[in-house]
Structure 1
Amino acid sequence: MSPESGGRRISARSQIVLFCGLVVLWCLLWGQFTVLSVVSGVVLAVVISLLFYLPAIDLSGRINIWHTAVFLVRLLVDIARASLDVAWLVIDPRYKPSSAILAIALDTRSDLIMTWTAEAISLVPGSIVVDVDRQESVLYVHVINVADDDGLEDFRASVFATEKRLVMAIGSVDDVWRVNQPNELTRSVRRGRN
């Protein structure tokens, strides 16, 4: 099989997944899975697919149920803990605002993992992704309540941990290999570039 035909198969598979995702999203927006909502969703997905460019996403084809559950539970715990922290900052009269924007170079090269990592980070109160560099896999994250370098490194480590949990849940074999490498030297070099 030539690389070109393999690339076409990956592209066709990802386009089918995106197409089905659009139909499901349409039905969820209407709150019902009826013949009319599915048919109108298919028509809308065809129109969107023809009018707008949908990037090919290389899906890994693997889902690890255990790691997916670990990711979801940890995300809920992070959201609850951060919500309490932010609520405390609001009522604490001694709080002096301190925030930063960090450039965090991820280990993954997958657009899907990078997007889901950005979404997971932004769901947690107190941090939000303000920009993304797709070419370099860098997230620019605004984070509140960081007073020193240790706080910045703790937040950076939490982003890497989120990325690793996502990769272990749904990432490709290549991404699993990347996040399991001792990358402290690589990360410090990449941090120096940004």
Structure 2
Amino acid sequence: MTGDLPGRPVGDGPPPEPRPPAIVGRGGRWRDQAVALGWLVVVWLLLWGDLSWGNLVGGLVVGAAVLIFFPLPPVTFGGRLRAGALLVLAVTFVRELVSASVHVAAIAVRPGYRPRGAVIAVPLRIRTDLNLALTAELISLVPGTLILDVDRDLGVLYVHVLEVLRPEDLTDSRNRVLTAERRIVRAIGSPEEVRQLGVEPDRRNST
């Protein structure tokens, strides 16, 4: 297996500096907690498979206990939803999902073939918890790539790539991760994040 040295992201320039701690106002914190509680209740109801007052109250109690005893880090959404960029994100994801599925299936049925994998470190340019989570999920959902670890302080994703035939494949894999990040930021990023990546959003589709 080939790959980068642990803790040493490969890229142009020096390693990224640790990001400053997120500052979340009291109002934003309560809003985020309410959203998290709502999602936990939804998951609880889906697990039980029955919408009833008992399950609803039980979900509220369990969700509140989870948030109290296992507090989540502050993740706030200060971006804008852009319909056109969201559509591009969805279409390109489906296209890459189908293409990667066919590629992995071809590897799986090839007799005696053992793909040479690699682990690469990809420093993201927008080092927020939300961007880290969304980019990691998007990459992991595509067959052939899997997030092994996340350095939250440095904003680095450690990605396992299934098949590496030549050194250029490592560069291509890094570029795919950064392209996914770019699409996410263009679709839901804040104006400051969009400017940071040098992406020009479609203002007509902003909501």
- The counterpart of 1:42, out of the listed 60, 79, 86, is 60
> Which secondary structure does the structure 2 equivalent of 1:140 belong to?
strand
Shift of 1:106: 0.4
Contact 1:58 1:110 in 2 (8 A): no
> Which secondary structure does the structure 1 equivalent of 2:169 belong to?
helix
State TM-score, norm by structure 1.
0.82
Give matches, 1:21-40, under 5 Å.
Answer: 21-40=39-58
Task: State percent identity of aligned pairs.
Answer: 38
1:162 aligns with 2:174: no
Contact 2:104 2:144 in 1 (8 A): yes
> Which secondary structure does the structure 1 equivalent of 2:25 belong to?
helix
How many Å separate the matches in 1 of 2:42 and 2:36?
A: 10
Give matches, 1:1-194, under 5 Å.
Answer: 7-60=25-78, 62-93=80-111, 95-180=113-198
Counterpart amino acid of residue 92 in structure 2: R
Q: How many pairs are equivalent?
A: 177
Report the RMSD for the aligned CA atoms in angstroms.
2.0
Unpaired runs of 5+ residues, structure 1, are 182-194
> Which secondary structure does the structure 1 equivalent of 2:125 belong to?
coil
C-alpha spacing 1:31/1:75, structure 2 compared with 1 (3 Å): farther
> Which secondary structure does the structure 2 equivalent of 1:17 belong to?
helix
**Higher mean displacement: 21-30 or 159-168:** 21-30
How many Å separate the matches in 2 of 1:23 and 1:32?
A: 12
Deviations 1:155-194 (A, max 9, x none): 111111111111122222222222226xxxxxxxxxxxxx
> Which secondary structure does the structure 2 equivalent of 1:101 belong to?
strand
Contact 2:41 2:60 in 1 (8 A): yes
How many Å separate the matches in 2 of 1:35 and 1:59?
A: 31
How many Å separate the matches in 2 of 1:151 and 1:89?
A: 16
Deviations 1:61-117 (A, max 9, x none): 532222222222222221111111011112234845211100000011210111111
